[in-house]
Amino acid sequence: MKLEGKVALVTGAGSNLGKVYAFALAREGAAVVIGDLDGDLAREAARVLGETGARAIGLEMDMGNDAHIEAGVEATVAEFGGVDILVNNAGLARGRWNLCSELTNDEWRDILWVNVGAAMACARACRPIMAARGGGVIVNQSSMGAYAVLTSAYGVSKIAISGLTVALAHEFGPDNIRVNGIAPGAMNGRMPPEVFERMLSLQSIKRPGAPEDLEGALLFLATDASSFMTGQTLIVDGGVAARP
């Protein structure tokens, strides 16, 4: 129970990777706030966690809505007294497999705001709360697409989130807030079969990835096991982006 007494806010956590993250944090003792665009999914995930004895609530959080972001952080503080861990997992994958030039300007704005701007907004809202508690941890969701060739607006946004991770690590460091990231690789069922097969062929570890493969990286970054680490992004992709 390495996170006993800690409070974690996980965005985009009603399903998929975010849900795996939320459940992993809860198993280590953290009280968890599950934010998701689909409020029903968020509340159901929190209900399931509650049945295990964990402290959890689910909230509707639209990352394209500033008021939702602020309300989510305020609700976290109201329910559990603060925020120690923020996992910026929510993202928009519109046009994930389209070339950059194939998306409209509005689609570009949506992707860059949700994947980068909203992460910044969540971090900014949590900073004073974490600082008042003596520090905290922020984990940003990047992607293998930030390191391997992925010619899409989604990939560009994940390059940006990796850059934001470095920038915030320097900016928030004086408040004892560590900022790191995770870049998942190909996860079965999360991409078209032909794209998944191509990614699998590039992996050094010749098996499909699963969301549960990311739990260790998250818990390492969220706990004192990584207390002298900030501004880094862990690539968990089976070796696709490996290079000297």
**Closest to 183 in 3D by CA, of 229, 219, 223, 218:** 218
Start-to-end Cα distance in the chain: 36
CA gap 217, 211 in Å, rounded: 11
Given 23, 147, 154, 172, the catalytic residue: 154
- Residue 147 annotated among the catalytic residues of the structure: no
Residue 151 CA: distances (Å) to CA of 63, 73, 148, 172: 24, 34, 9, 31
**Closest to 123 in 3D by CA, of 67, 69, 160:** 69
Residue 72 CA: distances (Å) to CA of 78, 83, 135, 146, 242: 10, 11, 20, 28, 37
**Closest to 18 in 3D by CA, of 91, 125, 117:** 91
Distance between alpha carbon 73 and the CA centroid of its chain, in Å?
15
Tally of residues, the chain: 244
Catalytic residue positions? Answer: 154
